[in-house]
Amino acid sequence: MNEKFRIRAKRNDRIAQWMITLGGMLVICSVILILVLIAGTTLPLFKAPRAEIFAKFPLPKEPTQEVLALGVDEYLETGFFIDRQGRFNFFENQQGLASDQMAAQPPGDGIKVLKLESFGRMQFGLLWEDGSLSLERVVYKPFFDEARGNRRSIEHTLERDAFFPATTTGLPVQSMGRVAEGGRKTRVDLLTNGQLLINQVAVSESLFGDPEEESFSESVVVPAGASLTAMALSSDGTKLYAGTSSGRLLRWSLAEPGTAELLDDLRAFDDQRTITALTLVFGDYSLAVGDDRGEVTTWFPVRIEENRAGKQLQRIHDLSSHNGTVVMIRPSLRDKSLLSLSEQGLLRLDHMTSERHLLELGNHEPLTHYNFSTRSDGIIAMTSDHRAIIWRLDNPHPEVSWGTLFGKTWYEGYDAPEFVWQSSSGNDDFEPKLSLTPLIFGTLKGTFYAMLFAVPLALLGAIYTSQFCRPRLRGIIKPAIEIMAAIPTVIIGFLAALWLAPLVEKSLGAVFMSIVFIPVGLIIAVIIWQTLRRHEPLKRIERGYEFLAVIPVIILSLAIAITLGPLAENLLFDGNLKQWLFTEMGTRYDPRNCIIIAFGMGFAVIPLIFTIAEDALSNVPPALRAASLACGASRWQTVWRVILPSASPGIFAGSMIGFGRAVGETMIVLMATGNTAIMDLSIFNGMRPLSANIAVEIPEAPHGGTLYRTLFLSAVILFLMTFVVNTAAEVIRQRLRKKYGRF
Amino acid sequence: MKKYWRTGEPCVWGTGAALAVTLLIAATLIVVVMVNGLGVFWPAAIEKLELKDGSALLGELTQRETVHEGEEFRRQYKVGNRDLYGLDFRWVDEADILAVSQPSDALLLEREEYGNFYGFLNRFEDGGAGGDMLGALRNSHAEVMAEKALVRGMNEEISRLSYQLDRLRRNLLKAEYQGLGPDHPKILEIKRNQAILQDDFSHLVARQNQAAADMRARKAIFADVNGREREIALADIVAIYGPNQMSLVEKAGVYLHRLKELFVGEPRESNTEGGLFPAIFGTIMLIFIMSLFSFPLGVIAAIYLREYAKEGMIVRLVRIAVNNLAGIPSIVYGIFGLGFFIYGVGSSIDQMFFPETLPTPTFGTGGILWASLTLALLTVPVVIVSTEEALGAIPREIREGSLALGSTKFQTLMRILLPMASPGIMTGLILSMARAAGEVAPLMITGVVKLAPSLPIDGNFPFLHLDRKFMHLGFHIFDIGFQSPNVEAAKPMVFVTTLLLVLIVLTMSSVAIYLRNRMKKRYTFSTF
C-alpha cells in the first residue's frame, strides 16, 4: 500500500476524531448555553440597585445664603439651589462653580421667601412673607450647540406657573398651590388657628369660546382635636390629604370648587404618633405617610364593605423604617419609588409596590436637603456642612421582587392583594403588575386538562396496538399515529379555535352527553356482541379487529348524543346550558375554554405518548408474555398483571415527555384560549399560559426592560419545568435500556 | 357470560375503543381540512334570492344551520360588494325567502380591492351598443391585463433603481461615518451617481404613473342585484367569471387557474386573497438554510455519540442533553434566538460592519438567517436521534469487518457506515424539515412578518439577503385566521393554506417514516 496514502488516511482519521468530538461537545454546550443565556438575561432583575457618586463639591454660595431647595437636570450637569430671596442659583456640576442666577420676582421690594414647597417635576411653591404664593418651575431644555461642534448642551429657564395674591386672613403657616391642566388653580393654606383656607379659580369656557374665570374661597373646618402636621395636595389640586399630631389621616375632595368634601377621618395609627411627612406617590393614587417613629407607609382608598359605595383609606404597603422622625418624602417621577429623609440626615429609597428597600444614602455625612433629577435617575443632596453630592442611580428594575413575581400583591385600585398579570397600559404612571403565578397556573391548568384527555386515550390505544392488534394492522396504525405527530400545532390551534370552538359552543349539551353515551354505547355493544359471537365464524375474525368494530358504535353514540343534546338541554337547563351555568353555577362560559384546549393540546400530545408507550410495551420480552399465557391467564390478565408492570417505566417516561410538550406548547394555547390571566380552575373558561404570554408580549417588550427580562424569566421557568420532566424521563429510559439491553 | 367479564375481554374492547377514538379524531381533522380547503377554488353557483321585504340578494351559499330550536333553517350567503354593503356575508332566514334562481348573466368579479363583486354588467362603452357587451369586456380586460403586466415590469425596474439608490445612500453614510469631508472625490462621485439615478428614477415613476392612469381610464359600469350601479376600472378587476353558465370543464379550468394563482401569485387584500408565493418561498428558503446548519451538526453529533464516544458518564449526559434539547418548548428557542442571535450576535455584526446605519439595525433585528439558526437548534435533536438509530441498526460485524481489513475508523465511517445509514439520516433530515415547516412560535419572535416587501433572494447584488424578514405558511395561517380585520372572509384562505401545509408536512413525514421502516426491515434490529 502507498505509504503516503496511509499517512493521509491516519491524519484524516485523527482530524475527524477531533472534529466529531468537538461537534458532540457542542451539543451539550448548546443546552447549557441556552439555559445560561436565558437565565443571564433575567439576572439584572434581582441585582441590587447602586448609586454612584457623580459629583461632590462645596456648594458655591455666599455664607449668608440659606438653602431652601435643590435641583438638577436629567444629565446631572447643571444644578441649582434656591435661597431666601427667591433666587435660583445655578452651578456647573463638573467644576462645582456657580454659573448664573435667576430670580423669581418677589411680590414687593425686599420681601423674602417664608416657606418653600417643592413638588412635581422641578416645581416650587414659594410662600412670600406678605402671604402671597407663587409657583415657579425650572425648565431644562437640551439642544445641540452649533458653536461647540454640535455637542449636546442643556439650557435652563425659570417660568412662573401661577401667582396667588396674599389672602386677607393673615399669614398662613403652610401654603400649597397647584395648577391643573385645564388651568384650574388651587391654593390651600393652613392658618395659624389650625383651620384650612381653600381658594380655587375654576376656568370654564363661555358661550363664545372664551375662557371665563370664577373664583371660590372657602374656609374648611378641621374636625375637632386634629392639629394638622403635614399636608399633601395632588398635582391637579383635587385631592387634599392631611396628617395630624395624633396619628389621624384626613382626606378631602376638592373636585367641586367651593365645596370641599371630607371623605376620610381615620385614626390611622393607634399609638398617637405624629405624622410628619405626606406625599403622593407618582400617579397621585397612593399616599405616602412618614411619621415620628421613622416608619414610611403607603395608603390608598379601598372599598371596605361590599355594599358601601364609599371608600376608606387603608394601609397598603409598609416600607423600610428609619431610626428617627421622617422629615420629608419625595416621589420618583418614573416609577412608584419613594425617597425619604430622616432627621438624622439619612436618605432611603424604597419601591412601593415591591416593598423593596433599594438604597441608603448619607451614611457618612448627614443630609439636609435633597431632590430627584428631572428624570428621577439621579439624586442631588446637600450635606449639613453645605456640600453638594450628586448620585447617579443604577436602578433599572425596582418593581420586581420575588414577592411581586410569585406572591399576592396589593396593587393600586384593587380592594385586596391579588395575583395579577398586566404588563402595560397607556399611561406613564401605570403600576406594572408582573405576577407570574397566574401564568404558571394557566400553564398547569391547560396541561392538566390536556393530559386528562390525552393520557388515557394514548396509553389504552398503545396497549391495544402493541398487544391485541393484528401485526399487519399494527404496521399501519403505528406509522399513521407517528405521522399524526407531524401535524403542525398552528393547524391544530386554528381548527380548535375557529372550527371546534363554535361547534362545541353550539352543542355543549351534546359534548357532555357523548361523554356518557360513548361508554354506555360501548357496553351495550359488547353485550350484544357477546350473544352474537357464539357463532364460530364471528368468533374467529373478532380477535385483533375489535377497534374497527367499535368505530361504528362510537359514531352512532355520538350521533345519538348530538340529536339528543338540544333536547336534554331543553328539558334540564331551560334550553340554554350556558345561561344555566352562569346563573346556577356562577361560571361564565368562554367560547375558547379548556374543553377546546383539552381536545387540541391533547391531540397534539397523544402521538408522542402513544409512540413511546407502544415502544415500551412491545419491547417487553415475549418470553414473559408466553409464560403468562401458558399458565392460563387470559390475554387481558397477561397485559394487566405482566406486561404493564414491566413496561411501566417506559409508559411513565412517555407521559412525562407528553407533559413536557404540553407545558411548552404555544400556538394551540395562543389561538384557542382567551389569553386572559385569570386563576380559575373551571373547565369553561380559558387561561393565559407562560408560553402564549411570551409570544404575545415579547414583540412589544423593549430590549433590556423589566418586561423583557420578566419574559425571559418565564422562559427559564418553562425550561426548568421541561428540563426536570425530560431528564427524569430520559434517566428512566436509560435504566430500561440497561434492564432489557436491547433498545 | 360471567367468565367473559372476568377474563377482562371488555377491557380489551375498551382499549380498542381508545385507539378508535384517537384515529377518528385524526381522520376528522384531515377530513375537515380537506372539505373546507378543497372546495374553496371551485366556482360555486351564484344564487339570486327574492326576499319577503321585496329586496333581492345575490351571492354564493356558504352555510346552512338550524335556528329556533331546530325547527327552522337559516342560510349564510357570501354577497361580496364590500364597497356597497360593508360586510361580505349575510344571514337569511329561510322563512324570508320567496324564490331562488340562478341568473345566467350573473357575474363574479375578483377585484384588487374590496373583495369580490357579485352583480351584472350594465354598460361598457368600448363595446359599443348592443352586441356582445360581455365579450367586448372580456377582450378589453385581457388587454388591460397585458398592459398591467407591462406596468408591473416597470415596477421591477423601479424597485431595482430604488435598491441602488438605497445602496448609494448607505455608501454615503458610510463614507461620512469614516470622516470623509464633503469635498472628498469619493463623496462627490457618490453624489453624482445619486443625482443620475434619482433622475432615472423619477422619470420612470412618472412614466409608470402615466401608464397606470391611462389604464385606469377604461371603466365599465356594473350593477348589484338591487340595481345600484358601480363604476369599476378594468385595471382593478383580477378576473371575470360567469359561473352560472359555465360547463363542468370550464369550472375545472377556473379551478386549476386559481390553483396556479395560489402558487405563483402575490397576496392581496391583507393576505386574505390572492396567492401564497412569498409565503411558500419563505418557508422553503427557511427550511433550506436551516438544513444547512442542522444537518451537519446533527449528523456529526450522532456519529460522535455512536461511534467515537466511550460509553460512560459523558455519553449519558450528552444523551440527556439531546433529549432535553428535543423537549425544550419551541417558544424558549424563540426567546433564545431573540436574546442570543438578534440582540447578541446581530447587534455585534451591526456594530462591526454596519455602524453607519445605526441606530437602524441591519442584522440586529429579526431576519431569515436568525430564524433559520433558531430552527436549526430546534431540529438538531431530530437529526441526532434518527442518525443514531440508523448507525445503531448497522450490525457490528460490518464495522469489525471493515476495521479488520485495515481501514481507519474514518474510512469505515465514510465508505461503509454512512452510506448504509443514509436512509435513516434522510429520515432525520426530512422529519426535521417537516418540523421546521410547521413550527411558528419561535419564528414569530425571530423575524417572520405578515407581509414582506421583498423576497430574501432577488436580482440585486448580493442576491441573497439573509437579513431580510420573510413570510411563512404557518404564520400566514395564524395571521389571517386571527389577526385579519375580516376573519369570516379570510376563512377560505386559511383553510387553503392549512391544506397546503398539511399536505406538505404529511408528505414529508410519510416519506421519512417509509424510509425508516424500510431501513428497519433491512437489518431487522429493533430500535427505540
Q: Are B8 and A636 within 8 A, CB to CB?
A: yes
Residue B526: pLDDT band (50, 70, 90) is: very low
Question: Chain A within 8 Å of B33 (Cβ-Cβ)?
Answer: yes
For residue A664, give the nearest of A436, A443, A439 by alpha carbon: A443
Q: From CA A260, how far away is CA A239, in angstroms rounded?
A: 9
Write down the residue that cell numbers 422622625 correspond to.
Answer: A325
- Picking from A457, A711, A733, the nearest residue to B335 by CB comes out as A711
Mutant choice from A33, A464, A528 vs B, greatest count of B C-beta within 10 A: A464
Whether residue B416 has pLDDT greater than 80: yes
Residues of A (89-148) whose Cβ lies below 8 Å from B: none
Write down the residue that cell numbers 425686599 correspond to.
Answer: A110
Q: From CA B275, how far away is CA A435, in angstroms rounded?
A: 43
Q: Chain A: nearest CA to B399, how far in angstroms?
A: 15
pLDDT digits (tens, 9 = 90+) for B231-252: 888 888 888 888 888 888 988 9
Q: Which residues of A touch B70 (CB under 8 A)?
A: 566
Q: Are B336 and A695 within 8 A, CB to CB?
A: no
- pLDDT score of B82: 82
Q: Of B153-157, B308-312, B325-329, B424-428, which gets the smallest average pLDDT?
A: B308-312
Amino acid sitting at position A707: L
B113 DSSP 8-state letter: S
Q: Chain B: nearest CA to A458, how far in angstroms?
A: 7
The answer to whether B499 and B418 have CB atoms below 8 angstroms apart is no
A272 DSSP 8-state letter: -
A374 DSSP 8-state letter: T
Three-state SS for B219?
strand
Q: From CA A439, how far away is CA A670, in angstroms rounded?
A: 13
Q: From CA A399, how far away is CA A387, in angstroms rounded?
A: 32
**Average pLDDT estimate for B446-459:** 81
- Does an H or E element contain B479, and which? helix B473-482
Burial class (CB in 10 A: 0-12, 13-18, 19+), A584: exposed
Amino acid sitting at position A451: M
Cβ count near A508 (within 10 Å): 21
Q: Which domains are present in chain A? A: 52-166 (no CATH), 437-687 (1.10.3720)
pLDDT digits (tens, 9 = 90+) for B177-209: 777 777 788 888 888 888 888 888 888 888 888
Intervals of chain A under pLDDT 70: 1, 147-150, 207, 306-309, 426, 536-542, 575, 737, 739-743
**What are the cell numbers at B179?**
470622516
The answer to whether A322 and A340 have CB atoms below 8 angstroms apart is yes
User: Does B359 sit behind a cis peptide bond, omega within 30 degrees of 0 on the bond before it?
Assistant: yes
Q: From CA A730, how far away is CA B321, in angstroms rounded?
A: 9
- pLDDT score of A447: 92
Write down the residue that cell numbers 468530538 correspond to.
Answer: A21
Three-state SS for A642?
helix
A311 DSSP 8-state letter: E
Q: Which residues of A touch B33 (CB under 8 A)?
A: 491, 495
Q: What is the mean pLDDT of chain B?
A: 84
Q: Chain A: nearest CA to B477, how far in angstroms?
A: 7
Mutant choice from B6, B283, B322, B335 vs A, greatest count of A C-beta within 10 A: B335
Question: Chain B within 8 Å of A573 (Cβ-Cβ)?
Answer: no
Q: Are B327 and A661 within 8 A, CB to CB?
A: yes
Alpha carbon distances (Å) from B39 to A496, A501, B34, B264, B499? 20, 22, 8, 19, 11
Q: From CA A456, how far away is CA B200, in angstroms rounded?
A: 70
Q: Which domains are present in chain B? A: 277-522 (1.10.3720.10)
Q: Chain B: nearest CA to A637, how far in angstroms?
A: 7
Residue B70: pLDDT band (50, 70, 90) is: low
pLDDT digits (tens, 9 = 90+) for B95-113: 888 888 888 888 888 888 8
Q: Are A715 and B528 within 8 A, CB to CB?
A: no
pLDDT digits (tens, 9 = 90+) for B461-478: 777 788 888 899 999 999
**What are the cell numbers at B268?**
392581496
Q: From CA A540, how far away is CA A29, in angstroms rounded?
A: 57
Q: Is the pTM here over 0.90, yes or no?
A: no
CA-based radius of gyration for chain B:
30
Whether residue B68 has pLDDT greater than 70: no
Q: Are B334 and A694 within 8 A, CB to CB?
A: yes
Residue B343: closest C-alpha in chain A: A703
Q: From CA A484, how far away is CA A531, in angstroms rounded?
A: 36
- Picking from A494, A635, A637, the nearest residue to B498 by CB comes out as A494
Question: Chain B within 8 Å of A11 (Cβ-Cβ)?
Answer: no
For residue A546, give the nearest of A661, A472, A436, A465 by alpha carbon: A465
List phi, psi (to 5°) of B363: -100, -10
- Picking from B16, B444, B527, the nearest residue to A468 by CB comes out as B16
**What are the cell numbers at B199?**
433622475
Contacts of residue A628, defined as CB under 8 A and 6 or more positions apart, other chains included, come to A637, A638, A641, A642
Mutant choice from B5, B6, B13 vs A, greatest count of A C-beta within 10 A: B13
**What are the cell numbers at B392?**
445503531
Residue B12: closest C-alpha in chain A: A636
Q: Which residues of B touch A550 (CB under 8 A)?
A: 13, 16-17, 20
Q: Are A20 and B481 within 8 A, CB to CB?
A: no
How large is the greatest C-alpha to C-alpha distance in chain B, in angstroms?
Answer: 104
Q: Are B411 and A518 within 8 A, CB to CB?
A: no
- pLDDT score of A308: 59
Question: Chain A within 8 Å of B320 (Cβ-Cβ)?
Answer: yes
DSSP for A427-470, please give it: STT---EE-SHHHHHHHHHHHHHHHHHHHHHHHHHHHIIIIIS-
